[in-house]
């Protein structure tokens, strides 16, 4: 009996280090994946954007003005550099009287084109609104009772209610954008009473992280808490 007990104890001691080693390797692998995935996704996304801009900008550039023609190889990001330079030149032109007159004349002509006019005017209004509000585009992170009583969702207060809805609804309503998980670029626009929107002690960046991660990342936890030791 003593021999059997001693044999069982020896077997457990042999198995225990092996189990700990597997768990340690698994946790280190999980940690490596968490670190690598955002980095890989960021690099891949930036590379895709740079290639997209390069391909489109360099296509409209005459071969005589394309440095790649003389060098014999492609320079990554050349199209992006040229785009930044052209935007800067356009900004300089638009800042003087002649440039403003030319832009107004171009907008006047676009306003007369049946299909182009509504698209251009809508995009211009959206871009101008976002540019004016800047960081106030998502000014507060809030908690609202949605989609039914007893359930809550994180939303972003974007602006005070205005326009046609403000003429029908009483005073005290705000526009709240409720994004979806894990893709925060889609969601719902809700008109909520300002008193019913509970403001959270979070920045818009922290709110976005929590939504994208499905609640795993919040302002009160960090990377170390995601990896069980």
Q: CA–CA distance from 126 to each of 8, 107, 129, 159 (Å)?
A: 73, 16, 5, 13
More confident site: 75 or 169: 169
In a domain, 229, yes or no: no
pLDDT of res. 107 = 77
Same domain, 102 and 130: yes
Burial class (CB in 10 A: 0-12, 13-18, 19+), 154: buried
Domain boundaries, position 176: 139-215
Q: How far apart are CA 192 and CA 203, in angstroms?
A: 20
Closest to 178 measured CA to CA, from 156, 205, 196:
156
pLDDT of res. 67 = 74
Q: How far apart are CA 158 and CA 171, in angstroms?
A: 16
End residue of a domain, out of 117, 134, 151: 134
End residue of a domain, out of 57, 74, 91: 74
Is residue 145 within 8 A of residue 204, CB to CB? The reply is: no
Same domain, 122 and 188: no
pLDDT of res. 2 = 43
* pTM of the predicted model as reported, rounded to 2 decimal places: 0.50
Same domain, 41 and 65: yes
- Does the pLDDT value for residue 202 go beyond 70? yes
Q: What percent of the chain has pLDDT over 70?
A: 81
Same domain, 5 and 40: yes
Structure confidence at residue 168 as a pLDDT band (50, 70, 90): very high
Dihedral angle sign, alpha carbons of residues 159, 165, 167, 169: negative
Tally of domains in the chain? 3
pLDDT of res. 132 = 59
Structure confidence at residue 134 as a pLDDT band (50, 70, 90): low
Same domain, 125 and 154: no
pLDDT of res. 173 = 95
Place of tokens 């922290």: 206
Residues facing 189 on adjacent strands? 177
pLDDT of res. 220 = 60
Same domain, 1 and 70: yes
22-68 tens-digit pLDDT:
888 888 888 888 888 878 888 888 888 888 888 888 777 777 777 77
Report for 50-54, 115-119, 186-190: range of highest mean pLDDT? 186-190
- Does the pLDDT value for residue 21 go beyond 90? no
- Does the pLDDT value for residue 103 go beyond 70? yes
Q: What is the mean pLDDT of residues 185-214?
A: 89
Q: How far apart are the first and last CA of the chain?
A: 38
In a domain, 227, yes or no: no
Same domain, 69 and 85: no
End residue of a domain, out of 42, 74, 106: 74
pLDDT of res. 224 = 46
In a domain, 118, yes or no: yes
């Amino acid at each position: 009996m003593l021999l059997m007990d001693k044999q069982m104890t020896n077997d457990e001691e042999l198995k225990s280090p092996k189990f700990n080693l597997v768990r340690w390797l698994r946790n280190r692998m999980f940690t490596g994946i968490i670190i690598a995935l955002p980095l890989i996704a960021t690099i891949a996304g930036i590379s895709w954007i740079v290639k997209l801009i390069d391909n489109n900008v360099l296509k409209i550039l005459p071969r005589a003005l394309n440095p790649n023609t003389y060098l014999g190889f492609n320079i990554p990001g050349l199209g992006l550099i040229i785009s930044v330079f052209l935007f800067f030149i356009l900004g300089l032109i638009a800042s003087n009287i002649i440039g403003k007159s030319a832009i107004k004349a171009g907008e006047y002509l676009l306003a007369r084109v049946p299909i182009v006019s509504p698209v251009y005017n809508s995009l211009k209004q959206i871009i101008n609104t976002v540019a004016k509000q800047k960081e106030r585009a998502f000014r507060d992170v809030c908690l609202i009772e949605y989609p039914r009583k007893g359930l809550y969702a994180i939303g972003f207060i974007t602006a005070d209610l205005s326009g046609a809805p403000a003429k029908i609804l009483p005073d005290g309503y705000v526009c709240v954008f409720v994004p979806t998980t894990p893709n925060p670029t889609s969601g719902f626009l809700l008109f909520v009473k300002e008193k019913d929107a509970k403001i959270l002690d979070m920045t818009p960046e922290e709110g976005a992280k929590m939504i994208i991660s499905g609640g795993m990342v919040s302002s009160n936890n960090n990377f170390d808490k995601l990896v069980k030791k």
